[in-house]
Structure 1
Amino acid sequence: MNEFTVLAAILGCLANSLLILGLAWSIYRPKQRVWPPEKSTVMHRIVVWTLTCIGFGSAIFIGFVEWGILDVPAFLRWGLGLVLLIFGNVVVWAGVLHLGFAATSGAKGSLRTTGLYRYSRNPQYLADIAILVGIGILSASIMSWPVIFTGIVALALAPFSEEPWLLEKYGDAYAEYLMATRRFF
Structure 2
Amino acid sequence: MIDLPSWVSWSLFGLAASSICAIIGLSIFAVLSGKFQFFPPPSGNSWQHRTFMALFRLFLYPLLALSLLDFASVAPAYAVLQYTLGLVLLVVGFALAFWITFQMGWRNAFGEKHGLKTQGWFRISRNPVYVATWVGMIGWGLLANTLLVWILLALWATMYLLAPVFEEPWLEQQYGQDYLDYKRQTRRFL
TM-score (norm 1): 0.89
Contact 1:120 1:182 in 2 (8 A): yes
**AA in 2 matched with 1:168:** Q
Does 2:62 match 1:78? no
Contact 1:66 1:141 in 2 (8 A): yes
1:89 aligned partner: 94
Larger Rg: 2
1:129 aligned partner: 134
Of 149, 156, 162, the match for 1:144 = 149
**AA in 2 matched with 1:19:** I
Contact 1:62 1:141 in 2 (8 A): no
Cα distance in 2 between the residues matched to 1:30 and 1:70: 47
Q: 1:133 to 1:182 in 2, by over 3 A?
A: same
Q: Secondary structure at the match of 2:147?
A: coil
Pairwise CA distance, 1:83: 1.8
Contact 2:39 2:48 in 1 (8 A): no
Q: What percentage of aligned pairs have identical amino acids?
A: 26
Contact 1:58 1:147 in 2 (8 A): no
Cα distance in 2 between the residues matched to 1:147 and 1:108: 30
2:110 aligned partner: 105
Q: 1:131 to 1:55 in 2, by over 3 A?
A: farther
Q: Per-residue CA shift, 1:101-147, capped at 9, x if unaligned? A: 11112222210001211111111122222232221111111221221
Q: Secondary structure at the match of 1:32?
A: coil
Cα distance in 1 between the residues matched to 2:139 and 2:57: 16
Cα distance in 2 between the residues matched to 1:180 and 1:100: 22
**AA in 2 matched with 1:113:** T
Contact 1:56 1:132 in 2 (8 A): no
Cα distance in 2 between the residues matched to 1:36 and 1:30: 14
CA RMSD of aligned residues (A): 2.1
Pairwise CA distance, 1:55: 2.0
1:175 aligned partner: 180
Cα distance in 2 between the residues matched to 1:123 and 1:99: 11
Contact 2:41 2:110 in 1 (8 A): no
Report how many aligned residue pairs link the two structures: 185
Unaligned 5+ runs, structure 1: none
Does 2:70 match 1:66? yes
Q: Per-residue CA shift, 1:39-72, capped at 9, x if unaligned? A: 3325433322222233232222212112225659
Q: Which segment drifts farther, 25-34 or 89-98?
A: 25-34
Which has the bigger relative contact order, CA under 8 A and spacing at least 6? 1
Unaligned 5+ runs, structure 2: none
**AA in 2 matched with 1:61:** A
